[in-house]
Amino acid sequence: MEWLTLTIDGREVSVPKGTTVLDACRMNNIPIPTLCHAPELTSAGACRLCVVQIEGMRNLPPSCVTQVAQGMKVETQNPKVRNARKTILELLVANHPLDCMTCQKMGDCSLAEYAYDYGVTGTVYQGEKRCLPIDDGNPFILRDPNKCILCGKCIKACTEIQGKSILDFSFRGFDTQVGPAFNLPYNESDCDFCGSCVSVCPVGALTEKQMAGKGRPWEVSKVQTTCPFCGVGCNFDLNVKDGKVIGVTSNPEVPVNGKALCVKGRFGMDMIYSDNRITTPLIRKNGELVPAEWDEALDLVATKLGEIKKTYGPNSIAALSSAHCTNEENYLMQKFMRAVIGTNNVDHCART
């Protein structure tokens, strides 16, 4: 691998060829604010918050899309660069509702974090603000276009993670919005509600509806687990407050799925507390399902299966397994049918 040497804020560092200036900075623990950049998505270079000064380059190039060149001299914190970033943040805040106290994103909002870092007051530019209707028509995602900073990450997540391309920009300039085609609400579009858009939103424009009002980020502990819904084995973080799961957030560090999840994994965990959950085996007695002990239930199944096999042969029995089970559980299921029962009659709910 070819290595390039550059100077960042007077410090000489070496990075592999092809590294962006942003990554070079982050590899060396030099903080650069970003809003439209996400490692798992292609870079748009749109928010312009990551601008730096590079000797010999015109203007202030965005570090997220500028590749390192040998001998490059980068300044990331000089007054000119910090002033440009502050001005950009002031511009964003000037067109952003300042209802942070009640915003679900408070404590996890990149805009708020950078505004604090850069001493943004929100009073420099007084003028027009967007006033767009909130998309509240679905059970999963709350979309507040007035909080949108138009970083475009949700659009890229929809296209590049989920492959759906439901979202794009519409209108122009100050009137630009993000949304499904024809400005339809999510529930009237082809949206799968995978929530990838929510997972990349740096502000409170896209939030998990189920978690609204249930806890602040600093009150929540995140417990990494494997999704029980199917055998893919996606990992995510259960958001736990006071011993109760209040929702799910995806974790970019997990190896199977990264930030991607499906609607069940991201928004289906409320089933944990469902009243309809079966908590003991049930045996039908006189036409009615009656709770039973595990021993009694397993004995009954073994006896019945044994009788059927003896009377009608092993091929009179078939097993239908569930996508809800893990791969290992499904493996055991077919092994049991083939080795113990002696039939190949196995099938799976997700096969069709």
| Beta carbons of 234 and 256 less than 8 angstroms apart | yes
Residues in contact with 22: Cβ distance below 8 Å, sequence separation at least 6, in sequence order: 32, 34, 37, 50, 63, 64, 66
Q: Which is nearer to other proteins, 125 or 336 (CB)?
A: 125
Length of the chain: 352
The one-letter amino acid code at 327 reads N
Chain residues in the site for other proteins (CB under 8 A): 43-49, 51, 59-60, 62, 65, 67, 83-84, 87-88, 91-92, 94-95, 124-128, 149-150, 152, 168-169, 171-176
How far apart are alpha carbons 213 and 66 in whole angstroms?
40
Q: Which is nearer to other proteins, 7 or 170 (CB)?
A: 170
Q: Which is nearer to other proteins, 97 or 314 (CB)?
A: 97
How far apart are alpha carbons 207 and 104 in whole angstroms?
7
| Shortest CB 89 distance to other proteins, Å | 9
| Shortest CB 57 distance to other proteins, Å | 11
Sequence-ordered strand ranges (E) for the chain: 3-8, 11-16, 53-54, 73-75, 141-143, 167-170, 177-180, 206-208, 221-226, 235-241, 244-249, 282-285, 288-291, 319-321, 346-348
| Shortest CB 60 distance to other proteins, Å | 5
| Shortest CB 125 distance to other proteins, Å | 4
| Shortest CB 175 distance to other proteins, Å | 7
